[in-house]
Amino acid sequence: MIEYKQLVVPIALFFFVSIIVIALINMFFNYLNRRLALETIKVALKKDQPIDRELIETIVSGKSNSNSDLRMGWLLATVACAFILLGLILLLLGYKAIFVALLGMACFPGLLSMTYLMFYFKAKEKP
């Protein structure tokens, strides 16, 4: 039978490495998106086409969609539920210590999801 110590290290390593990879991919695609928008403005200026002032302000300020907080909140809540379900499966296999560890790991995305959802609902309340 595999000891729980042999499972905790690979699971934790996979979790933290995947967070870093997802963050880097997100930063890269945001960079590409801004670069494409700025290239579009450059081409429009070279062709002497009128550009809306609001469009430029939106691109420069980098404001995101109001639903992005809602999407991120639900995504993080799903990740937290996945950790809890994985812990429950391992608990049924007799690994109580791993269940406790995964429950603790699920607290991080769970609390972050609640924060994003609070941001979303607070922004909805403002006129």
Per residue in 10-32, pLDDT tens?
877 888 888 889 989 988 998 89
Q: What's the whole-model pTM score? A: 0.58
Mean pLDDT in residue range 68-77: 89
Residues 6+ apart with CB under 8 A from 116: 69, 70, 72, 73, 76
Confidence band, pLDDT 50/70/90 cuts, at residue 55? confident
Comparing 12-16, 96-100, 120-124, which segment has the lowest mean pLDDT? 12-16
User: 112 vs 42, 44, 100, CA distance in Å?
Assistant: 38, 40, 19
High-pLDDT (> 70) share of the chain, %? 91
pLDDT of residue 63: 59
